[in-house]
């Protein structure tokens, strides 16, 4: 499909920039395979239009891989923040410190990820944004709306974001320990559901990831993945039983050890419920006979 001109223009502009060696290390490695044809293009159009993007999906659905692929696409360094209840303003913005300069002690400000990404026009990846305490993130409200600016509370400096500055956030909805995203924060994002891969796109990913694997093994794992999907829909398995991360891990191990044990370690053992563990193994046995 032809790339939209807004995306082409943004890509040319961003790719054309030079980055220091330190920053270039932060450019991601691509490889995300889209589960639905227009998803990748729609996300690129949103980021080209300076929209903040929220990726909503279960564990191992490729949210981080997608963000890295966007970083690669624009050849744009990406700073990551992992949210937790301990996340505070300093972890986002930075902190003051004392440094020696020509024999004198002076105060210096060490820039955190938000300030660096805004100033340098990089990508800011905010992972598990719903794990942060609700009172921490409002600091970012002015950064995330049309103002694209921030008054640094530690220095008093007013910072206007670089035109390439891009925000991508990820959430795993309903996960233990998460709080519902505050409305004003959620309102500042364009939201995309990121489902687990299946069907032809999953086959494409397998062919690429496991060029050495036997075709019966690939066939088995793809069929098994479909079975797990059906049982998730039937309510007999938790969603994570169909995680692409787990499926890829199981397939990789299965090239070296008994596939049933590989499935046990990579998929079954992660499920809470004993009946779910059993079902995962029973379904695997039907394909591995
Ligand atoms: N659609 C996809 N395209 C390419 N790789 C994928 C895809 N989905 C999952 N993967 C692979 O599965 C693994 C997990 O992906 P990733 O870490 O991006 O998941 P995630 O959604 O960020 O999970 P979590 O919520 O646990 O952080 C990676 O190895 C990734 O390459
Ligand atoms: Mg992730």
Nearest ligand to the CA atom of 240: 1
Report how far ligand 1's centroid is from the alpha carbon of 223 (Å).
20
Question: What pLDDT score was predicted for residue 181?
Answer: 85
Write down the pLDDT at residue 175: 66
Do the beta carbons of residue 215 and residue 203 sit within 8 Å? no
- At 174 the pLDDT is 67
Amino acid 177: pLDDT: 66
Q: Specify whether the CB–CB gap between 10 and 47 falls below 8 A.
A: yes
Taking CA atoms only, the protein residue closest to ligand 1 atom 13 is 245
- How high is the pLDDT of residue 156? 95
Kindly list the averaged pLDDT for each block of 10 residues, start to end, along the chain of length 289: 90 97 97 95 97 96 98 98 94 95 93 98 96 91 97 96 98 75 93 96 96 94 97 96 97 97 98 96 94
**Mutation test residue for ligand 1: of 69, 176, 244, 246, the one with most atoms within 8 Å of CB:** 244
* Ligand 2 geometric centre to CA of 61 (Å): 8
* Domain 5-193, CATH homologous superfamily name and number: P-loop containing nucleotide triphosphate hydrolases (3.40.50.300)
**Which ligand is nearest the CA of 194, by number?**
1
Measure Cα distances from 186 to 49, 62, 189, 192, 286 in Å. Answer: 18, 21, 6, 12, 44
Determine the distance separating the centroid of ligand 1 and the alpha carbon of 38, expressed in angstroms: 18
* Amino acid 17: pLDDT: 96
Q: Which atom of ligand 1 is nearest to the CA of 201?
A: 1
pLDDT, residue 76, reads: 98
pLDDT at 1 (0 to 100): 63
Burial class (CB in 10 A: 0-12, 13-18, 19+), 198: middle
């Amino acid at each position: 499909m032809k790339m939209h001109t807004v995306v082409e223009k943004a890509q040319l502009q961003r790719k054309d920039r030079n980055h220091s060696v330190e920053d270039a290390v932060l450019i991601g490695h691509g490889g995300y395979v889209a589960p639905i044809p227009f998803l990748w293009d729609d996300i690129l159009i949103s980021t080209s239009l300076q929209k903040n993007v929220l990726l909503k999906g279960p564990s191992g659905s490729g949210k981080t891989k997608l963000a890295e692929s966007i970083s690669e696409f624009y050849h744009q360094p990406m700073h990551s923040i992992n949210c937790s209840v301990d996340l505070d303003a300093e972890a986002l913005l930075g902190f003051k410190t004392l440094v020696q300069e020509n024999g004198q002690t002076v105060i210096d400000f060490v820039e955190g990820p938000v300030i660096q990404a805004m100033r340098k026009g990089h990508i800011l990846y905010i992972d598990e944004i719903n794990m942060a305490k609700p009172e921490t993130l409002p600091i970012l409200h002015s950064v995330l709306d049309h103002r694209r600016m921030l008054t640094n509370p530690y220095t008093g400096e007013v910072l206007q974001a670089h035109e390439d500055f891009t925000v991508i956030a990820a959430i795993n909805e309903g996960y233990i320990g998460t709080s519902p995203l505050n409305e004003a924060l959620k309102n500042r994002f364009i939201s995309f559901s990121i489902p687990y891969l299946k069907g032809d796109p999953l086959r494409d990913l397998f062919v690429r990831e496991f060029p050495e694997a036997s075709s019966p093994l690939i066939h088995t794992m793809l069929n098994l993945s479909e079975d797990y999907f059906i049982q998730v829909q039937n309510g007999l398995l938790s969603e994570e039983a169909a995680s692409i991360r787990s499926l890829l891990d199981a397939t990789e191990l299965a090239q070296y050890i008994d596939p049933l044990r590989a499935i046990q370690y990579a998929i079954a053992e992660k499920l809470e419920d004993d009946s779910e563990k059993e079902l995962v193994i029973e379904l695997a046995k039907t394909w591995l006979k």
